[in-house]
């Protein structure tokens, strides 16, 4: 459940007083105390200390009240009813953790509600056995509570005083640092200044274009302007210390390109293709140019030194001293004698050490000593070191004051932004491919699962464009291209050599890694012990000729660190970087072993859907036919109707992955699918939706369906409730059936409000349609789009100010208005054109005064559900019904 949706269930007037009980009343004083003696959060909560007014039992009662109120009202329950007790206990634990955080109110407000909620969840005991809906509810409910708590903090007079003092101190420190830097900048007419201008211009040219490695596509550019294509990603982590691993603590995220504004020294981890090297380029160009992007002013006066370790040690050379930085990195310019030393001594350097993982493991210890020598000799500079997650241990540089951060996977909005920028940078002839690819990313789940980092997004963009707007049908070709990129071509085309001392082609690496995928999938896991993974590879190495020449432990290390497919979430565990790669390789292994019995036994398990579909894609014609027959036989044997539906539809969607299948099998699968699609009534439609997004590709479009079939198909798609449904639903926005269009507008609350507004609501034929508005976010989108409509149905969770805005925008002739206890009375002003009004005050004990309705000249019908007064003031032309 989104925070906005919880907000509609729990109005501020109801939740505020409850949460305020968690905090002590404000006392006198400015809150300015010596450093180390600030008033911590433990002194601001009412359930800690000697003068506490709440017990932990009281906090649990409060949490129960919040949970109960959020479950009330219209709409589906936010989580299963049988998990109410566990959810309440977990929410109470999160609220109680507020007294355990080591920070004051100013620091808490600086975090914001989302990161404060993360801190609370990390500090509280982790709940066990909760469903996905319950976990999501708990996360968003905690965030909503934090929003209110932080608002209370900001109203405290002590907060205002202390925040102003801290802001003043911070500004003074910033000015002092800027002054210090400015005094160290070389004089404008000096030899150093002249060289710096040439050097920065050289860096801007050299690093101002972005290259994607591993894409040998005839119609795609090799590189494009960095400032057009760069996408700033989030980095997560915290302060590294020798005692505590950063991976054990949940810390607020920061924009990756602003990490060095907050921390002088950063070790940034990221998976293959996550954007580490691109970030180095971006920082370099931002420092080199006078016209800096927003937020990058902290790089003013900084001189970048780009040190890609794979280049510096390509032939086994010693890592360079400062006077050798430029020639070692391939810079053709010759600096004045001692220039690098003067820049670093003045603390003006931006030292970017890229790719700890790209040098042999035996050399990484020497690299750390080299870096430590530089840190000891030159203080005051900014340092960024990048690495893949598993290349160096946790806190590898923490003793040297480095903060460890990790690049986060791209969110859906970031993927959309990346695709738009890629096509803009690729030139005008690529523009026509942008929207079809965005549609594919939303509807083709296998494509979206791969598009989680810039490298994979770029690969997908390039493949899509090179194939003239078509991605490979099925997943096999797409995965093969991705595996080729990750396993061999990217390192080869970057002239990486062999940092692990091994040279293995794609085929032997796939043979070995698919053993791990097979074991994980067969055992229902996504993670295994590192020792077990190493032993599985060791057992397989003798049977793979190209790998058998190397010691098995070295082969395993190579696969773990260089394949780009595996990672170590902890020191003793291994998993795939994408579950979809595990499924793909497991399917290949299952087909190689021809374990058809395993496939069929797990056919009803939704975790095996992708494995089964991809197994059909890997299989030869006879094997493919056998899998499909077995799926249909299993459907016949299933007693549960939902299982029968799932297996039948799984066979239908797997059919699309088959490279060749007999006509008899194809016809039988299609005949069986036609028996359940389209659904015959709304109840069957809802049952069909439980199968999940795979049903969307089987539902018919508006052209071939009757009005009744179109309606039940739309019911199914709206109950699937994922973004993948939007493109299907968009095909029905001009449907002549009012029932179909009413289902579309009524189902808005199930989707992201903005996406649905742009894709569905804005395109709807509004003839005779009543607009149903249940959330503030929906009202905001109508106002943003300027969609004036004369027929409105406004739910009780829409706030009074949004109601007023909607009535002003639309001036409706028909209005259904549902109100809650917290929103008594009619809205003011009332719509002047109003002809029919339906009021739903059910459950409210406060009567509504209808007297103001007498002033509406066109009003002729009022229907009321709930207590009312003032009906005696209504003129005879207004027919009143109390229902």
Segment among 291-305, 336-350, 496-510, 859-873 with least mean pLDDT: 496-510
Tell which wins on pLDDT, 127 or 283. Answer: 283
Token readout for 113 is 């509600």
Contact criterion met (CB below 8 Å) for 453 and 275: yes
Do residues 106 and 235 share a domain?
no
Do residues 667 and 797 share a domain?
no
Q: CA 688, CA 716: separation in Å to the nearest integer? A: 6
The torsion angle over the Cα atoms of residues 543, 545, 546 and 548, rounded to 10 degrees, is 60
Query: Which secondary-structure segment (H or E) carries 794?
Result: strand 791-794
Highest mean pLDDT among 6-20, 105-119, 146-160: 105-119
Give a yes or no: residue 185 inside a domain. no
The last residue of one of the domains, among 355, 390, 413, is 413
Do residues 300 and 360 share a domain?
yes
Confidence tier at 309 by pLDDT (50, 70, 90): confident
Domain total for the chain? 4
Q: Please report where in the chains the tokens 């190397």 appear, as a residue.
A: 550
Do residues 393 and 357 share a domain?
yes
Do residues 209 and 273 share a domain?
yes
Contacting residues for 34 by C-beta, under 8 A, at least 6 apart? none
pLDDT digits (tens, 9 = 90+) for 135-163: 878 888 888 888 888 888 877 766 666 56
Coil, strand or helix: which one is 730?
helix
Mean pLDDT value of segment 700-710: 88
Give a yes or no: residue 604 inside a domain. yes
Give a yes or no: residue 62 inside a domain. yes
Do residues 144 and 195 share a domain?
no
Give a yes or no: residue 17 inside a domain. yes
Contact criterion met (CB below 8 Å) for 152 and 20: yes
Prediction pTM value:
0.49
Do residues 782 and 664 share a domain?
no
pLDDT at residue 29 is higher than 60: no
Do residues 229 and 336 share a domain?
yes
Mean pLDDT value of segment 584-613: 81
Give a yes or no: residue 851 inside a domain. yes
The last residue of one of the domains, among 413, 440, 467, is 413
Give a yes or no: residue 721 inside a domain. no
Backbone φ and ψ of 787, nearest 5°: -85, 100
Nearest to 226 by CA among 174, 279, 274: 279
Q: Which domain holds residue 870?
A: 770-882
Do residues 201 and 142 share a domain?
no
Mean pLDDT value of segment 799-804: 87
Do residues 256 and 400 share a domain?
yes
pLDDT of residue 246: 32
List Cα–Cα distances, 604 to 598, 617, 634, 637, 639, in angstroms: 12, 19, 9, 12, 12
Do residues 229 and 299 share a domain?
yes
Give a yes or no: residue 521 inside a domain. no
pLDDT at residue 803 is higher than 80: yes
Token readout for 304 is 């970048």
Mean pLDDT value of segment 576-599: 83
Contact criterion met (CB below 8 Å) for 410 and 270: no
Do residues 211 and 136 share a domain?
no
Strand pairing partners for 869? Answer: 849
Q: CA 278, CA 230: separation in Å to the nearest integer? A: 8
Question: Residue 259: which CATH number?
Answer: 3.40.50.300
Tell which wins on pLDDT, 619 or 316. Answer: 619
Q: Please report where in the chains the tokens 């007037």 appear, as a residue.
A: 13
Q: CA 485, CA 506: separation in Å to the nearest integer? A: 9
Give a yes or no: residue 402 inside a domain. yes
The last residue of one of the domains, among 413, 444, 477, is 413
pLDDT digits (tens, 9 = 90+) for 330-370: 899 999 999 999 999 999 999 999 988 777 777 888 899 99
Confidence tier at 820 by pLDDT (50, 70, 90): low
The DSSP code sequence of 685-728 is HHHHHTT-GGGGGTS--TTTS-HHHHHHHHHHHHHH-STHHHHH
End-to-end CA distance of the chain: 33
Task: Give the up-direction half-sphere exposure of residue 722: CA atoms within 13 A in the CB hemisphere.
Answer: 17
């Amino acid at each position: 459940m989104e925070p906005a949706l919880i907000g509609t269930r729990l109005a501020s007037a109801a939740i505020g007083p409850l949460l305020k009980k968690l905090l002590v009343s404000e006392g006198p004083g400015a809150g300015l105390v010596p450093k180390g003696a600030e008033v911590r959060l433990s002194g601001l909560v009412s359930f800690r200390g000697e003068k506490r007014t709440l017990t932990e039992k009281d906090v649990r009662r409060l949490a129960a009240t919040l949970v109960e109120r959020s479950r009330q009202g219209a709409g589906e329950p936010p989580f299963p009813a049988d998990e109410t007790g566990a959810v309440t206990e977990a929410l109470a634990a999160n609220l109680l953790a507020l007294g355990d955080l080591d920070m004051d109110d100013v620091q808490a407000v600086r975090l914001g509600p989302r990161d404060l909620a993360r801190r609370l969840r990390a500090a509280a005991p982790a709940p066990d056995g909760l469903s996905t809906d319950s976990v999501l509810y708990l996360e968003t409910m905690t965030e909503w509570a934090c929003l209110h708590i932080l608002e209370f903090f900001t109203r405290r007079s002590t907060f205002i005083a202390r925040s102003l003092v801290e802001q003043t101190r911070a500004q003074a420190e910033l000015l002092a640092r800027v002054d210090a830097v400015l005094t160290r900048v070389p004089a404008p007419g000096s030899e150093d200044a002249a060289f710096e201008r040439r050097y920065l211009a050289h860096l801007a040219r050299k690093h101002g274009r972005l290259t994607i490695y591993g894409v040998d596509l005839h119609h795609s550019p090799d590189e494009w302007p960095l400032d057009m294509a760069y996408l700033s990603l989030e980095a997560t982590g915290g302060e590294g210390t020798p005692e505590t691993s950063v991976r054990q603590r949940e810390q607020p995220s920061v924009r990756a390109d602003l990490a060095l504004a907050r921390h002088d020294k950063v070790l940034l981890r990221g998976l293959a293709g996550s954007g580490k090297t691109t970030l180095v380029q971006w920082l370099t160009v931002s420092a080199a140019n006078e016209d800096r992007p927003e937020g990058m002013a902290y790089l003013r006066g900084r001189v970048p030194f780009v040190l890609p370790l794979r280049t510096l040690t390509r032939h086994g050379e010693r890592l360079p001293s400062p006077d050798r930085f430029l020639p070692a990195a391939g810079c053709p310019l010759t600096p004045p004698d001692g220039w690098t030393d003067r820049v670093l001594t003045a603390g003006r350097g931006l030292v970017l050490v890229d790719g700890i993982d790209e040098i042999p493991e035996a050399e990484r210890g020497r690299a750390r000593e080299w870096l430590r020598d530089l840190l000891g000799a030159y203080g005051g500079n900014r340092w960024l070191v990048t690495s893949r997650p598993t290349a160096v241990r946790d806190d590898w540089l923490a003793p040297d004051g480095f903060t460890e951060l990790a690049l986060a996977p791209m969110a859906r909005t970031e993927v959309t932004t990346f695709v738009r920028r890629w096509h803009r940078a690729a030139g005008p002839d690529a523009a026509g491919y942008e929207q079809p690819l965005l549609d594919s990313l939303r509807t083709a789940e296998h494509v979206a699962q791969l598009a989680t980092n810039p490298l994979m997004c770029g690969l997908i963009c390039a493949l899509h464009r090179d194939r003239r707007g078509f991605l490979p049908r099925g997943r096999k070709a797409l995965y093969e291209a991705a595996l080729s990129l990750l396993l061999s071509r990217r390192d080869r085309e970057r002239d990486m050599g062999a940092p692990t001392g091994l040279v293995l082609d794609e085929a032997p690496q796939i043979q070995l890694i698919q053993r791990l995928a097979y074991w994980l999938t067969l055992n229902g896991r996504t993670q295994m012990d590192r020792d077990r993974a190493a032993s599985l590879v060791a057992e397989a190495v003798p049977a793979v000729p190209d790998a058998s020449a190397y010691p098995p432990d070295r082969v395993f290390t190579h696969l773990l660190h260089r394949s780009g497919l595996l990672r170590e979430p902890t020191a003793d565990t291994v998993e795939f970087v994408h579950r979809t790669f595990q499924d793909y390789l497991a399917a290949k292994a299952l087909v190689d072993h021809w374990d058809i019995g395993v496939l069929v036994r797990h056919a009803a398990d939704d975790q095996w859907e992708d494995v089964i579909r991809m197994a059909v894609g890997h299989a030869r014609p006879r094997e493919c036919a056998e899998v499909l027959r077995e799926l249909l036989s299993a459907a016949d044997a299933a007693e549960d109707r939902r299982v029968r539906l799932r297996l039948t539809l799984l066979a239908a969607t797997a059919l699309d992955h088959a490279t060749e299948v007999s006509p008899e099998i194809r016809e039988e699968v299609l005949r069986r699918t036609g028996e359940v699609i389209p659904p015959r009534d709304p109840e069957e439609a809802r049952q069909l939706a439980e199968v999940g997004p795979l049903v969307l590709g089987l539902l018919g479009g508006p052209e071939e369906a009757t009005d009744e079939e179109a309606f039940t198909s739309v019911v199914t798609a709206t109950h699937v409730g994922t973004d993948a449904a939007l493109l299907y639903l968009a095909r029905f926005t001009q449907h002549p059936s009012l029932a179909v269009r009413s289902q579309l507008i009524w189902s808005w609350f199930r989707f992201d409000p903005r996406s649905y507004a742009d894709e569905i609501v804005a395109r709807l034929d509004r003839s005779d349609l009543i607009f149903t508005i249940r959330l503030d976010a929906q009202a905001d989108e109508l106002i943003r789009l300027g969609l004036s409509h004369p027929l409105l149905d406004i739910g009780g969770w829409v706030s009074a100010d949004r109601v007023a805005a909607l009535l002003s925008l639309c001036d409706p002739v028909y209005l259904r208005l549902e109100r809650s206890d917290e929103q008594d009375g009619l809205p003011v002003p009332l719509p002047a054109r109003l002809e029919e009004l339906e009021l739903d005050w059910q459950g409210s004990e406060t009567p509504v005064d209808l007297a103001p309705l007498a002033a509406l000249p066109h009003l002729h019908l009022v229907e009321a559900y709930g207590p009312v007064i003032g009906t005696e003031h209504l003129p005879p032309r207004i027919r009143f019904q109390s229902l």
